[in-house]
Amino acid sequence: MRRLLTASILALAVATSAAAQDGGSPVSTAPEVAQESAAHAEPTPASPETATQPSVQLAPPQPSRARPAVETDEGGLWGMSDRAEQEARNSGQLEDDVALNTYLRDVACRVAGQYCGDIRLYVMNRPYFNASMAPNGYMEVWSGLLLRAEDEAQLAFVLGHEIGHYSERHSLATLRAIRGRAGAAMVFSIIAAGAGVGIIGDIVYLGTIASVFGFSRENEAAADLIGYDHAVAAGYDAHAGHKLWNNLLAETQASDNPDTRRQETRASIFRTHPLSADRVEALTERAAQANGGETHRERYRAAIRPFLDEWLRADLRRRDYGQTWLVLDRLAAHGEDLGVIEYYRAEINRIRRGEGDRERALQHYANAIAQPDAPAGAWRELGEYAARDGRAAEAAAYLSTYLERAPDAGDRALVEARIAQLAGGGQ
């Protein structure tokens, strides 16, 4: 489906129609359009305040844009965006936790200003730093981004950046530029090549989209400054933007993979949003003149805390331990959530099996279980290490604690058998 979307974008890019002369200006708002957009919006749970005080209840924000006519190129972009949105809604990767979605929508609206009513936000459980906002107002925020933003101000900046692409209609400009440059034959050969790809992973997806649909450097610089202005106007820390981009560049350099370190932009938002040193400089300079602003670090951390375990587990599956290690260091900077963080440091050591990793794994698991938020898995791994070292009684004790802390563990039968085996003198 993603492949289909890419192909559709290409097809649209070469399509010639009378609509191409249309300037892309919004058509007048029709009531049925507003209704249709409103129907897309996810229900927001009513708060007790609004229920008891109907006089303060506000109408839901209205979209700032009407749906463009279907025969225009912009209408075509909206149609493709609708399909991508449907795909996201049906995706097994959709994170539908109400508290998290409500929180993120609030932050997005705070920076979106007049575009608040346009946004339909979806959280996707994908372990890469990425966000996007489609021309129809459908916005994706990936869990890998939420794991990496250090505070609400950084999140607000990156959402403001995406809203900047949306408000300036950069996708439409990109589409028209492709149509202007590419010969139809070449574009159709790319479509054919894309259709032959069997498995499209997130990296390939990002790369494919970027190769045909990345934003220009000018658009990126413009979106950065719009994101900056919106976030600062909403009261956020002016330094969030350049800190975030610098953090991502540092993570690129921390990669285990030499290709990633060289290419700088693999598997990240920079595939579709090319980052240059100029952009970081421009944001740094702009922030130098600013004072004040809130990071809202603590409430951001509170919002993502319930997901740290799951998102770190997913991040490990990328098998780039240098990068995950840096993410863990950043999460540990304020001394919070150390049980989860130490557990995943141990997991990296256990899985990597490099020189000295075994001893380090044992140490990090031991650090983890000294914390109140240690995942139960820490006791299981300590039990396995103890069993392999011939300390049967200690191993059985660790494994029993594991089962006490994770009564619904999927491997309960296996672990119970293991404990029985250890009690019988086995290893």
**Nearest residue to Zn ion, by Cβ distance, number only:** 273
Residue 393, judged by CB atoms within 10 A of its CB (0-12, 13-18, 19+), counts as exposed
Comparison of 73 and 220: residue with beta carbon closer to Zn ion: 220
Task: Report, in Å, the least distance between residue 220 CB and Zn ion.
Answer: 5
Q: Which two tokens stand for residue 413?
A: 């039968």
Write down the least CB distance from residue 290 to Zn ion, Å. 21
Dihedral sign for Cα atoms in the order 341, 347, 353, 356: positive
Kindly identify the residues of this chain, within the stretch 39-68, that bind Zn ion according to CB under 5 A. Answer: none
In whole angstroms, how close is the CB of 337 to Zn ion at the nearest point? 30
Phi first, then psi, for residue 132 (nearest 5°) are -155, 155
User: What does each C-alpha distance from 380 to 27, 259, 306, 325 come to in angstroms?
Assistant: 61, 35, 21, 22
Q: How many residues make contact with Zn ion (CB under 5 A)?
A: 3
Euclidean distance between CA atoms 359 and 76, whole angstroms: 58
Verify binding: residue 121, Zn ion, rule CB under 5 A.
Answer: no
Give the nearer residue to Zn ion in terms of CB position, either 273 or 286. 273
Q: Which is nearer to Zn ion, 174 or 323 (CB)?
A: 174
CB closer to Zn ion out of 165 and 350: 165
Q: How far is the CB of 273 from Zn ion (least distance, A)?
A: 3
- 19 or 221: whose CB is closer to Zn ion? 221
Q: Is 223 a residue that touches Zn ion (CB under 5 A)?
A: yes
SS (H, E, C) the chain: CHHHHHHHHHHHHHCCCHHHHCCCCCCCCCHHHHHHHHHHCCCCCCCHHHHHCHHHCCCCCCCCCCCCCCCCHHHHHHHHHHHHHHHHHHCCCEECCHHHHHHHHHHHHHHHHHHHHHCEEEEECCCCCCEEECCCCEEEEEHHHHHHCCCHHHHHHHHHHHHHHHHCCHHHHHHHHHHHHCCHHHHHHHHHHHHCCCCCCHHHHHHHHHHHHCCCHHHHHHHHHHHHHHHHHCCECCCHHHHHHHHHHHHHHCCCCHHHHHHCCCCCHHHCCCCCHHHHHHHHHHHHCCCCCECCHHHHHHHHHHHHHHHHHHHHCCCCHHHHHHHHHHHHHHCCCHHHHHHHHHHHHHHHCCCCHHHHHHHHHHHHHCCCCCCCHHHHHHHHHHHHCCCHHHHHHHHHHHHHHCCCCCCHHHHHHHHHHHHCCCC
Q: Say whether residue 145 binds Zn ion (CB under 5 A).
A: no
Residue 224 or residue 347: which is nearer to Zn ion going by CB? 224
CB of 235 to Zn ion, least distance (A): 23
Minimum distance of Zn ion from residue 16's CB (angstroms): 28
Distance of closest approach, residue 158 Cβ to Zn ion, in angstroms: 9
- Choice between 150 and 220, CB closer to Zn ion: 220
CB 123, min distance to Zn ion, A: 19
When the beta carbons of 273 and 296 are compared against Zn ion, the nearer one is 273
Binding residues among 318-377 for Zn ion as defined by CB under 5 A? none
Which residues between 181 and 220 bind Zn ion (CB under 5 A)? 220
Cβ proximity to Zn ion: between 136 and 272 the closer is 272
CB of 148 to Zn ion, least distance (A): 16
> What is the smallest separation between the CB atom of 324 and Zn ion, expressed in angstroms?
25
Which of the residues 259 through 318 are near Zn ion (CB under 5 A)? Answer: 273
Q: Between 166 and 344, name the residue whose CB sits nearer to Zn ion.
A: 166
CA–CA dist 397, 147 (Å, integer): 34
Q: How far is the CB of 111 from Zn ion (least distance, A)?
A: 14
Nearer to Zn ion, 272 or 324 (CB): 272
Residues within the interface to Zn ion (CB under 5 A): 220, 223, 273
